[in-house]
Amino acid sequence: MKFRFRSNDQVSGFLDKGTNVTGELEFAGTLRIDGNFHGSISTGDVLIVGEHAVIHADIKVGEVEIHGQVFGNIEAKRRVQITEAGRVRGDIHTPVLSVAVGAMLDGRTRMAGDNPEEAAVAARTMSHKDGRKEQF
């Protein structure tokens, strides 16, 4: 499984496969979940939903990368990426949405942001597999 990190990103927390957590989760940095989570998730930073993760939660984040299953609404300030293995059942509100071929999204999307200029810049930025970012 490949995760696209920026060069300065480091995973600061990890819930491994086989873990079951219920509650309100708030964190800073980058958190990767590969287990089961029920409740709510909140951060201004990055959430990575691993391939084996099953999340039943409303999520408010800076960015989220989805490789597993999410049941709940997602609000991201910067970006939502659903990979080919990702499954989402819920509404998404984000300025930038990336859905890979083979991914599943069952819900409504809203991409209008509070700051249209910020969304336009983010939409013109392309990330490469090697971590480079390119504006076009």
Query: Pairing between strand 125-127 and 133-135?
Result: antiparallel
Task: Give tens-digit pLDDT for 27-58.
Answer: 999 999 999 999 999 999 999 999 999 999 99
Give the integer Cα–Cα distance in Å for 71 and 63.
17
**Full-model pTM:** 0.76
CB 136 within 8 A of CB 119: no
Query: Which pLDDT band holds residue 131 (cuts at 50, 70, 90)?
Result: low
Task: Give tens-digit pLDDT for 110-129.
Answer: 997 555 555 555 555 555 55
Query: DSSP secondary-structure letter at 7?
Result: T
Q: Locate tokens 């970006």: which residue? A: 79
Least confident of 12-26, 81-95, 115-129: 115-129
- Residue extents of the structural domains in the chain: 11-135
Give the integer Cα–Cα distance in Å for 36 and 25.
13
